[in-house]
Structure 1
Amino acid sequence: MRAEIITIGDEILIGQIVDTNSVFISKELNKIGVNVYQITSIQDDRTHILSALKDANERVDIVLVTGGLGPTKDDITKKTFLEYFDDTLVENKEVLENIKHIFASYIGREPLPSNFEQAQVPSKAIVLNNLNGTAPGMWMEQNETVFVSMPGVPYEMKQLMLDEVLPRIVKKFNRPFIYHKTLLTYGKGESQIEQIITNWETALPAEIKLAYLPSLGRVRLRLSSMGKDEILLKQSVDSQMDVLHEMLKDIAVGYEDENSIQSKISEALQEKGQFLSVVESCTGGRIASEITEIAGSSLYFKGGLVPYATQLKSDILGVDPKIIDTYSVVSIEVAEEMAKKSNQLFRTEYAISTTGIAGPTKGEAVDEVGTVCIAVAGPERVISEKFNFGNTRERVIGKAVNKAFEMLLKEISKN
């Protein structure tokens, strides 16, 4: 059971937008046992679209197309579908009423003729109702292959996928079960992990595959399997994952899509009735951003500061200038003072602080690019560590954020 995703739009090819649609579609298809065989991005060009549809028809069972369904002249997907399926347009009354409703309820003006043209759909298509926009989705079939066309606007596409497309795929196709389980680890690289689990990995059943997914100070370990018996499949993967988790219990923090490290911190602080604050220099607010992505973070997170300029660490946070002059602004001594002052300022039990040189140049700093000092101040003590995370700015910031969360969770767990 294979699918191909085709994204249409010059804006993707020139890097103006990131193709998040394919990520969402792939995840949702995988949940129902459909393997994505290929993802293709193409121009808003008739010949290119026709060629992509023809090629996909020869290799997959389902072709999902996003983009090119707007009301302007550069949106040519529907016209190209007509040519590919040798079809004609007909007016769909439900789509027409939806267009009128959206303009009357949310836009406050009369639709233009180009908007009404979106109610014209291929006669062979099953129309998929777009509750969030004026361009309908379309479901068409040819040579036992299903073609689905959806708008490129992410929230419109997601509604169509969840409400219309996925239920139809489930009803039409017999699919195998695909099961993934991913363990999140912090603190060791993939080569170190491989040494620990090498014998277990070698003995894995052939139907279970292990993938190492490293990124900036953490490694995800994914077990995958596919088969017809869902219960047996899950039991087999879960059993192997239990063994893996026990082998890596010192660095394992939970399972992906279940308990991220931020969620673990959230649960631990709420259970203890304690609060967190952050003071970020080199990470520029990234730690606070990841904390507040979790719903309910106000129950344990009070706030943070980004004193990027050295003077602000003294003027606003209250770090003694003598400590900065003695040890330099990028030092564990300064990081520790920042964390302690954060607890005092925000009246929290725990605080994270970061100070470092993310690059690309080090300016007047003594230390090299990539040097980061992280401190965690808790109710009983302050811990700190000095790292070098390399010379790529995004890598330095990303690894610093992940390491800060790792240090904080370990400290909370000890108290």
Structure 2
Amino acid sequence: MKAAVVTIGDEILIGQIVDTNSAFIAKQLDELGFQVVEVLSIADQEQAIVNMLQSYQNKVDLVVITGGLGPTKDDITKKTICKFFNDDLVLNQEVLTHVTRLLEDFYNRPVSEINKQQALVPSRAKILFNKVGTAPGMILQNNKTFFVSLPGVPFEMKYIVENELKPWVITNFDAFYNVHQTIITQGVGESLLAERIANWENNLPPAIKLAYLPSPGMVKLRLSSSGNDKQAIEQSISNQVSMLALIIGDCIISYDEQLPLPHQIYLLLKSKKQTIAVAESCTGGKLATCFTEIPGISSVFKGGVITYATDSKVNLLGVSQDTILEQSVVSAQVAEQMATQAKNKFQTDYAIASTGNAGPLKGDSDAEVGTVHIGIATPHGTFSEKFMFGQPREKVVKSAVNKALELVYKELIKKNN
């Protein structure tokens, strides 16, 4: 089964907003067994919409479109689709009743004529009811292709997909399964990783595809396969993962993409009833953000400080001025003192510290741009490691965050074992 995802809106094409709808819809379609062959963004123009509808006709089984369903004159999707299908707009009483109640009861204002237009839908369309907004979703079929039109407001689109579209798809399409398994590795670059698993990769069954997904300090390996027998597919992939673990088990940090490394650190600390804090310089608070995004993290994460300037390391953390003068602010000694002081001030079991030159200038240190020292304070002592992350600045910061998380994770695992 093939599908395409289309977003309509000039605001996407000029970069005014980021298109998150496509990613969400594509993921949902993948889970439903579709092969998403294209993701497309087009202008709020009649000819662009017509060209899109024509291009996908009988080429894919399902097209999911978002955007252009509002009540204003610049929202032309509904009228254009109606014209393409040689259909007429009719008043849907159920939608009108919902719009009326929503505006009068929730927003406490009368329904205007422009609001009532939301209840106009193509006569042959199946309505996907939108309980959280005014614009309904619609399904129209032309020969072999189903066209689904959804509102572009993200929370409305998500509601309709999860509560209306998915049940309809399950009822109207044969069961098919796309199975993915992501293995997250850290501490080994993509090329070296490829060398280590080359023989295993060359012997993968033809039905299983491998993808490398590198990012600073981390490489994800995704195994994918599709078919009608979900259990058999999952077993086949599981067998390959077991073989892979024997080869690169030393650098695998997770088999669950939905459970990122900060969350794993959180669970480890929670299980041991231990706590952690951070002292950041070159990472500028991004390390703390990794933790504070996790619900319930306050039980293990006690806080952090961003001592970006050299004097703040001395005044706020108590790092030795003599050490900074003798060793440089970007040094192993400073990173270790920062970690130790953070651990003491927050009274935690662990602490992470970062100090480095992210660039483009060297700042208060003579260390080369891209140099980062990461300090880890533990119940058993403090240590640090030095890294050269090169450039650009964004890569240095991201790599430093990932490496810091990796170091504390390995320390937790080591002590746990």
Shift of residue 258 of structure 1? Answer: 4.5
CA contact (8 A) 2:183 2:257 kept: no
Residues 1:176 and 2:176 aligned together: yes
Q: Which residue of structure 2 lines up, in the alignment, with residue 233 of structure 1?
A: 233
Q: Map of 1:75-154 to 2, 5 A cutoff? A: 75-154=75-154
Q: Which residue of structure 1 lines up, in the alignment, with residue 25 of structure 2?
A: 25
Q: Which residue of structure 2 lines up, in the alignment, with residue 64 of structure 1?
A: 64
Q: Which residue of structure 1 lines up, in the alignment, with residue 398 of structure 2?
A: 398
Distance 1:52 1:386 in 2: 53
Distance 1:367 1:115 in 2: 63
Larger displacement relative to structure 2 (92-101 or 3-12): 92-101
- Structure 2 counterpart of 1:46, one-letter code: E
Residues 1:313 and 2:331 aligned together: no
Distance 2:120 2:99 in 1: 12
Q: CA RMSD in A?
A: 1.5
Q: Which residue of structure 2 lines up, in the alignment, with residue 282 of structure 1?
A: 282
Shift of residue 276 of structure 1? Answer: 0.9
Q: Map of 1:2-401 to 2, 5 A cutoff? A: 2-401=2-401
Distance 1:365 1:320 in 2: 15
CA contact (8 A) 2:310 2:364 kept: no
Q: Kindly tell me: are residues 364 and 281 of structure 1, through their superposed partners in 2, closer, same or farther at Cα, counting changes over 3 Å? A: closer
CA contact (8 A) 1:4 1:36 kept: yes
Distance 1:178 1:311 in 2: 54
Give the secondary structure class of the aligned counterpart of 2:71: coil
Q: How many residues align?
A: 415
Give the secondary structure class of the aligned counterpart of 1:70: coil
Which ranges in structure 2 are unaligned for 5 or more consecutive residues?
Answer: none
Larger displacement relative to structure 2 (252-261 or 145-154): 252-261
Give the secondary structure class of the aligned counterpart of 2:284: coil
Distance 1:138 1:188 in 2: 48
Distance 2:256 2:20 in 1: 19
Distance 1:85 1:223 in 2: 40
TM-score (norm 2): 0.96
Give the secondary structure class of the aligned counterpart of 2:379: coil
CA contact (8 A) 1:279 1:307 kept: yes
Instruction: Kindly provide the CA deviation profile for residues 23-76 of structure 1, in whole angstroms up to 9, marking residues without a partner as x.
Output: 111111111210101011101111001101110114211000011112222111
- Structure 1 counterpart of 2:228, one-letter code: K
Instruction: Kindly provide the CA deviation profile for residues 203-262 of structure 1, in whole angstroms up to 9, marking residues without a partner as x.
Output: 111111111111111111111111221111111111111111222111111123353212
Distance 2:365 2:386 in 1: 15
- Structure 2 counterpart of 1:44, one-letter code: D
Distance 2:148 2:41 in 1: 16
Give the secondary structure class of the aligned counterpart of 2:311: helix
CA contact (8 A) 1:34 1:175 kept: no
- Structure 2 counterpart of 1:95, one-letter code: V
Instruction: Kindly provide the CA deviation profile for residues 362-401 of structure 1, in whole angstroms up to 9, marking residues without a partner as x.
Output: 3453122222111111111112111121211211111111
TM-score (norm 1): 0.96
Shift of residue 282 of structure 1? Answer: 1.3
Larger displacement relative to structure 2 (285-294 or 229-238): 285-294
Give the secondary structure class of the aligned counterpart of 2:94: helix
Distance 1:333 1:107 in 2: 60
Which ranges in structure 1 are unaligned for 5 or more consecutive residues?
Answer: none
Distance 1:335 1:97 in 2: 64
CA contact (8 A) 1:253 1:264 kept: no
Distance 1:45 1:369 in 2: 48
